[in-house]
């Protein structure tokens, strides 16, 4: 079978408060058509003014991907007619993009980046039973487009690339990268060597990217084998039918009229600005994971998991800084905390977790109680001490209280006590269970076990 050739175009909505060329807020999910002004509606006589904050963010994105920054980049008008484009053209960077080159390291290999440029978003069409409505809130929102080299060969590689790209962009705080809300969107170009190319538009989940590409590889392969020609067209992924569906004939650059944007001067990027932007980038995930292995003696796998998000990695280092052992902090974060995060919770503050960890390491709280405190922390955001007090969960390590508990349990369970004395060591497990239950899980199990064993053997023997 011939090799699939896949390239991706990823659009990221930049984390800016304002749109790219006007002062309208970027929160496009607001009531339709309430985030608009004459500039982003493309009314005649208006002039775009470039949002400098967006340029700095795009610069940071480019540096985080290892791109080379063009000292001078410029804007073009890309003309096409579509109802969501009120001006009749989109302002983009075609001839001189902001940055070139770069790469993203993924678990399945490096993916080369061809270019990164700034552009404005279009509006949104809402199809209803009664007709099509247009919401211009998104019109003019600041985007960067990242174009990969055509170096991917499967749906799973494309998915791995998107995961790694998203991780780096989240670390560098470029975008919130939410596929389902449209702040990260992906189009894929695909052909089999020697064949025509198709483009799949608006893939809005990692799963859709993988499935749509794998489907398209199979479809094109089958067509080639049967001697059919591949039509160069734009497709969309139909999740319900699990197939790609034609939308329109594929556009080529010749289908658009590109003209230099006369209302915006070229962007000139000074070396000092690049240096400042580079300095402002945080340590990125791969380097941070490598440092975690060296500095904290973690395995590569655990370091990778702990650096999966910046929040988790920051929290780990803050816990260690407050005196927690790296083993204890890693166990807490990769165990119960990760389980609760996967259920949709939000990471508690490192201060709250440090308090819990200290209680656990001092033996003032049992493993069961720690789980309960953590669940409550996720649900209510309360501190460990206040939860313990309210729920009466402090571990009982006091000898007198544990001795009393042991005596009560032994008095209630003469059968297992005799079994133990006759040599059935397993009976101690039953007695421990009964005593732990009587203490509602609060007894310190290590001390309790010792006391129970002592008390049994000290019992008067029956003959
Ligand atoms: Zn506006």
Cα 178 to ligand 1 centre (Å): 23
Tell how far the Cα of 19 is from the centroid of ligand 1, in angstroms: 7
Ligand 1 center to 27 CA (angstroms):
12
What is the Cα–Cα distance from 41 to 34, expressed in whole angstroms? Answer: 11
Rounded to the nearest 10°, the torsion over CA 95, 98, 102, 107 is -110
Q: Token digits for 89?
A: 């053209």
Q: How far apart are CA 453 and CA 432, in angstroms?
A: 10
Task: Please report the pLDDT score of residue 394 as a whole number.
Answer: 66
Helix or strand (DSSP H, E) at 244: strand 243-249
Ligand 1 centroid distance, CA of 90 (Å): 14
Query: pTM of this prediction?
Result: 0.83
DSSP string, 428-452: HHHHHHHHHHHTTT-B-HHHHHHHH
| Residues forming CATH 1.10.10.410 domain(s) in the chain | 399-457
Ligand 1 center from residue 180 Cα (angstroms): 24
CA of 45 from ligand 1 middle (Å) equals 14
Q: Find the 34 Cα to ligand 1 centroid distance in Å.
A: 10
Joined tokens for residue 274: 């690049």
Of 180, 159, 129, nearest to 6 by C-alpha is 159
Are 83 and 134 a contacting pair, CB within 8 Å? yes
Q: Are 274 and 73 within 8 A, CB to CB?
A: no
Distance CA 332, CA 324 (A): 11
115 Cα–ligand 1 center, Å: 27
β-pairing, 184-192 vs 257-260, is unpaired
pLDDT at 409: 86
* 399-457 belongs to CATH 3.30.390.10: no
Distance 96 CA to ligand 1 centre (A): 25
Distance 40 CA to ligand 1 centre (A): 4
pLDDT at position 418 is 85
Sort 293 into a burial class: Cβ within 10 Å, 0-12 / 13-18 / 19+.
Answer: middle
Q: Which two tokens stand for residue 190?
A: 């695909």
CB atoms within 10 A of CB 47: 10
CA distance 200 to 235: 5
Taking only the tens of pLDDT, the chain with its 463 residues reads: 588 999 999 999 999 999 999 999 999 889 999 999 999 999 999 999 999 999 999 999 999 999 999 999 999 999 988 889 999 999 999 999 999 999 999 999 999 999 999 999 999 999 899 999 999 999 999 999 999 999 999 999 999 999 999 999 999 999 999 998 889 999 999 999 878 999 999 898 999 999 999 999 999 999 989 988 888 999 999 989 999 998 877 666 667 889 999 999 999 999 999 999 999 999 999 999 999 999 999 999 999 999 999 999 999 999 999 988 999 999 999 999 999 999 988 899 998 899 888 888 777 777 778 888 888 888 887 777 777 777 666 677 778 888 888 888 888 888 888 888 888 888 888 888 888 888 777 777 778 888 888 888 876 665 5
Residue 202: predicted pLDDT:
84
What is the structure's pLDDT at 456?
A: 83
Q: Which residues touch 420 (CB under 8 Å, ≥6 apart)? A: 427, 428, 431, 456
Distance from residue 412's CA to the centre of ligand 1 (Å): 77
> Ligand 1 centroid vs 24 CA: distance in angstroms?
4
> β-strand 267-268 against 131-135: which pairing, if any?
unpaired
- Which string of DSSP letters, residue by residue, matches 70-133? PSEE--EEEE---TT-TTSEEEE--SS-SEE--EEEETTEEEEEEEEEEEE---EEEEETTEEE
Task: Give residue 44 CA to ligand 1 midpoint distance, Å.
Answer: 13
pLDDT of residue 381: 76
Cα–Cα separations (whole angstroms), residue 333 to 285, 320, 327, 352: 17, 12, 10, 13
| Partners of 381 in the β-ladder | none
**If you measure from the C-alpha of residue 72 to the centroid of ligand 1, how many angstroms do you get, rounded to a whole number?**
26
How many angstroms separate the alpha carbon of residue 323 from the centre of ligand 1? 50
How far away, in angstroms, is 48 Cα from ligand 1 center?
9
Residue 42 region, left (φ>0) first, then alpha (ψ -120 to 50), else beta? left
Interior angle at CA 121, CA 116 and CA 124, nearest 5 = 145
């Amino acid at each position: 079978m011939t090799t699939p050739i896949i390239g991706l175009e990823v659009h990221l909505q930049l984390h800016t408060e304002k749109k790219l060329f006007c002062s309208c807020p970027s929160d496009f999910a607001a009531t339709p058509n309430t985030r608009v002004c004459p500039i982003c509606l493309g009314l005649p006589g208006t002039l775009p003014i470039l949002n400098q904050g967006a340029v700095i963010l795009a610069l940071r994105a480019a540096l985080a991907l290892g791109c080379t920054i063009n000292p001078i980049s410029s804007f073009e008008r890309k003309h096409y007619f579509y109802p969501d484009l009120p001006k009749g053209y989109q302002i983009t960077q075609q001839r001189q993009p902001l940055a070139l080159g770069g790469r993203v390291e993924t678990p399945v290999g490096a993916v080369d980046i061809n270019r990164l440029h700034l552009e404005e978003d279009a509006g949104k069409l809402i199809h209803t039973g009664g007709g099509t409505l247009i919401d211009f809130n998104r019109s003019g929102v600041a985007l960067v487009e990242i174009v990969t080299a055509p170096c991917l060969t499967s749906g799973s590689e494309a998915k791995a690339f998107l995961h790694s790209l998203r991780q780096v962009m989240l670390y560098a705080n470029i975008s919130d990268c939410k596929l389902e809300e449209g702040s990260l969107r992906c189009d894929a170009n695909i052909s089999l060597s020697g064949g025509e190319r198709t483009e799949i538009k608006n893939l809005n989940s990692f799963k859709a990217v993988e499935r749509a590409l794998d489907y398209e590889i199979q479809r094109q392969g089958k067509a080639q084998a049967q001697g059919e020609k591949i039509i160069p067209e734009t497709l969309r992924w139909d999740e319900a039918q699990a197939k790609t569906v034609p939308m329109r004939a594929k556009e080529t650059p010749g289908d658009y009229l590109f003209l230099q944007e006369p209302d915006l001067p070229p962007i000139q990027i000074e070396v000092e600005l690049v240096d400042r932007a580079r300095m402002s980038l945080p340590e990125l995930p791969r380097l941070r994971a490598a440092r975690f292995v060296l500095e904290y003696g973690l395995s590569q796998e655990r370091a990778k998991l702990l650096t999966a998000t910046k929040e988790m990695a920051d929290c780990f280092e803050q816990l260690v800084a407050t005196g927690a052992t790296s083993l204890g902090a890693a166990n807490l974060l990769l165990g119960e905390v990760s389980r609760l995060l996967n259920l949709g919770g939000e990471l508690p503050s490192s201060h709250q977790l440090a308090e819990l960890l200290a209680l656990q390491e001092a033996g003032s709280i049992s493993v069961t109680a720690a789980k309960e405190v953590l669940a409550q922390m996720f649900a209510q955001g309360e501190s460990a001490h206040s939860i313990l007090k309210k729920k009466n969960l402090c571990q009982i390590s006091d000898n007198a209280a544990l001795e009393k508990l042991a005596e009560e349990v032994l008095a209630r369970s003469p059968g297992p006590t005799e079994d133990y004395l006759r040599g059935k060591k397993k009976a101690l497990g039953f007695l421990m269970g009964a005593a732990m239950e009587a203490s509602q899980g609060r007894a310190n199990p290590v001390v309790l076990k010792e006391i129970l064993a002592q008390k049994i053997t000290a019992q008067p023997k029956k003959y």
